[in-house]
Amino acid sequence: MSEKQVTRRNFLYVTTGAFAAAGAASLAWPFVDQMNPDASVKALASTEIDLRPIIPGQSITVMWRGKPVFIRRRTQAEIDEAKKVNLADLPHPEEDSDRAQNPEWLVMVGICTHLGCVPLGQKGDYNGWFCPCHGSHYDTSGRIRKGPAPTNLEIPDYVFLNETTIKIG
């Protein structure tokens, strides 16, 4: 039987094909990447908020990266309610202290983790948030309690720049 010989032509054929494939792939990338968030979008990636006008029991909604962010100054009753929940009862167990850097201020992305609607505040069976789209109930810490949503409302990265200002992102 004749052994399969690797000829010069085979070599050229394969290397040419490999270069063409690598070239085509690298040329394709800009056409894909152009749809990713661009420099002007990334430049808006953080937002600073003055907390002074908000009194206890009041919430504001701010825009961050095109999404609503809820900032709620919780009442003592709400904080207590959030703290006394048994973690074993939660579909997505998280301590309230892990969700709020300062118990008085709850900052979270106001987008239902089910399919992206904006939940309504101080509604639902747990006195927290209620999503009108498919009936997910969140508690006073924004944790999912009942309904189709898989996880708690997302907490964005934020820092307290001083007593009365936070920076999201």
Partner 1 sequence: MSENYAPKSAVGRWFNDRLPLLNLIYGHLLPYPTPKNLNYWWTFGGILTFCLITQIITGLVLAMHYVADADLAFASVEHIMRDVNYGWLLRYIHANGASLFFMAVYIHMARSLFYGSYKEPRELIWIIGVFIFLLMIATAFMGYVLPWGQMSFWGATVITNLFSAIPLVGESVTNWLWGGYAVGSPLLTRFFTLHYLMPFLIFALVILHVWALHVPGNNNPEGINVVQGSQDTVPFHPHYVVKDMFALVVFLVVFAGFVFFVPNLLGHTDNYIEANPLQTPEHIVPEWYFLPFYAILRSVPDKLGGVILMVSAIAILAFLPWLDTSKVRSAKYRPLYRQFVWLFFANVILLGYLGAQTADGLFLIIGRIATAYYFAHFIIILPLLGYIEKTKPLPKSLSEPVLSPEERQMKAAASGASA
How many angstroms separate the CA atoms of 87 and 93, rounded?
5
Contact region for partner 1 (CB under 8 A) — 2-10, 29-37, 96-104, 135-143? 29-37
The span from the CA of 149 to the CA of 9, in Å, is: 59
Piece in contact with partner 1 (CB under 8 A), picked from 31-39, 45-53, 67-75, 133-141: 31-39
CA torsion sign for 6, 10, 15, 17 is negative
Among 33, 50, 89, 157, binds partner 1 (CB under 8 A): 33
40 binds partner 1 (CB under 8 A): yes
d(C-alpha 79, C-alpha 128), whole Å? 11
Residues that are catalytic = 134
**Nearer to partner 1 by C-beta: 35 or 88?**
35
Q: Min. distance of Cβ 167 from partner 1 in angstroms? A: 23
| Residues 126, 79: Cα–Cα separation, whole Å | 13
Distance, C-alpha 32 to centroid of its chain = 23
Cβ–Cβ under 8 Å, residues 53 and 71: no
Stretch that binds partner 1, among 38-46, 50-58, 105-113, 119-127 (CB under 8 A): 38-46
Element (H, E) at 95: none
Nearer to partner 1, 15 or 76 (CB): 15
Q: C-alpha 69: how far from its chain's center? A: 10
From 2, 7, 26, 36, residue interacting with partner 1 (rule: CB under 8 A): 36
Out of 2, 4, 5, 31, the only residue in the binding site for partner 1 (CB under 8 A) is 31
> Which parts of this chain interact with partner 1 (CB under 8 A)?
29-31, 33-36, 38-41
